[in-house]
Chain A
Amino acid sequence: AQKVTQAQTEISVVEKEDVTLDCVYETRDTTYYLFWYKQPPSGELVFLIRRNSFDEQNEISGRYSWNFQKSTSSFNFTITASQVVDSAVYFCALGSGSARQLTFGSGTQLTVLP
């Protein structure tokens, strides 16, 4: 069975702080894909990143970075020097052959205070 756990329901930080959003996944497939999406108050989900299970290289994109560790089944997302505009719900998702659909975590509400 597929499962994605985002244990942090809500996080509040002050602007310019760094924040890490945790994502732990479960799958029996050896090939799978991991995603992060951002959902601002407007409601539309915005795609942030997709990683393949065979590529454990960490990735950095501006203030965003992702740490993929197969040993701990985690795909954590760090925002450096957070800004108020980063306030949103962030979803981690897993896709693999046996499920034939994306399995989303329950999301983490991030609030960045000025």
Chain B
Amino acid sequence: SQTIHQWPATLVQPVGSPLSLECTVEGTSNPNLYWYRQAAGRGLQLLFYSVGIGQISSEVPQNLSASRPQDRQFILSSKKLLLSDSGFYLCAWNRGGIYNEQFFGPGTRLTVL
């Protein structure tokens, strides 16, 4: 069966510090991978998605970036965090078409102080 991991689970970082969140999927190959942010108020915002190694699509311009160095690894980064980057970051995967059901990881709660 497939599983998706995210770490760390929680993170508190000062403004201006760098960020690296990691997501890995097990039990499947060539998945589509997604990064979402959920700010207070519950709405989910798609940040990035990837259909293959090195292929990243950005949905919202911001100071975040994403990379996919391996087939089942997706990394969310920032060189300098802003207060507005605080939120709950969720990684998801699916197979096949972009509108197949997505399966989400446990999330990382980021607080920027």
Please report A residues at the B interface, Cβ cutoff 8 Å. Answer: 32-33, 35, 37, 42-47, 50, 89, 91, 95-96, 100-102, 104, 106-107, 109
Contact = CB atoms under 8 A, between A and B. Distances in A.
16 contacts: A33-B99, A43-B88, A43-B90, A43-B106, A44-B104, A44-B106, A46-B104, A47-B101, A47-B102, A91-B44, A100-B98, A101-B49, A101-B98, A102-B99, A104-B44, A106-B42
B107 A95 contact: no
State which size class the interface on B falls in.
Answer: 20 to 34
B42 A95 contact: no
Contact of A50 (B44, B101, B107): B101
Given A43-B109, A101-B49, A95 B99 contact: yes
Contacts, number: 47
A50 B100 contact: yes
A53 to B, nearest CB: 10
Nearest to A44: B106
Contacts of B104: 37, 44-47
Contacts of A47: 101-104
Which of B42, B46, B88 has the most chain A CB within a 10 Å cutoff? B42
Nearest to A108: B42
A95 B106 contact: no
Contacts of A109: 42
Nearest to A43: B107
B43 A107 contact: yes
A101 B46 contact: yes
